[in-house]
Amino acid sequence: MTEDAAQGQLAAVGRLLAVEWERLQAQLRAISQPVLYANGIHDVMIPAIGSDKAVEQVPDSTLLLYSDAGHAFLFQHIDEFAAQVNLFLGK
């Protein structure tokens, strides 16, 4: 990742964190397509509680949590995660 890309990501996260929860809830509730959230319970970059709270708001959403994984859950559980993605996509 380049320095510019990292700075852009930090700026985007900062803008997201500045959004009031009520506004974010309304935006999440407005999502009409199915959404698959996946996370590791021990993810320090994107806490799993955030995924849980988002799934509570998105009408047609699925949450996959990996209890023994962190941010790299998809590499730690590659076969299981790939199977879940394929199932979600209807393959």
What pLDDT, on the 0 to 100 scale, is given for residue 70?
Answer: 93
- Whether residue 84 contacts residue 60, with contact meaning beta carbons closer than 8 Å, is answered with no
Sequence-distant (6+) residues with CB within 8 A of 46 are: 39, 71
pTM over 0.75: yes
CATH superfamily of 3-89: Alpha/Beta hydrolase fold, catalytic domain (3.40.50.1820)
Domain ranges, ordered by start, for the chain: 3-89
Give 6's strand partners. Answer: none
2-59, pLDDT tens digit by residue?
999 989 988 988 888 788 989 989 999 999 999 999 999 999 888 899 899 999 999 9
62-87, pLDDT tens digit by residue?
999 999 999 999 999 999 999 999 99
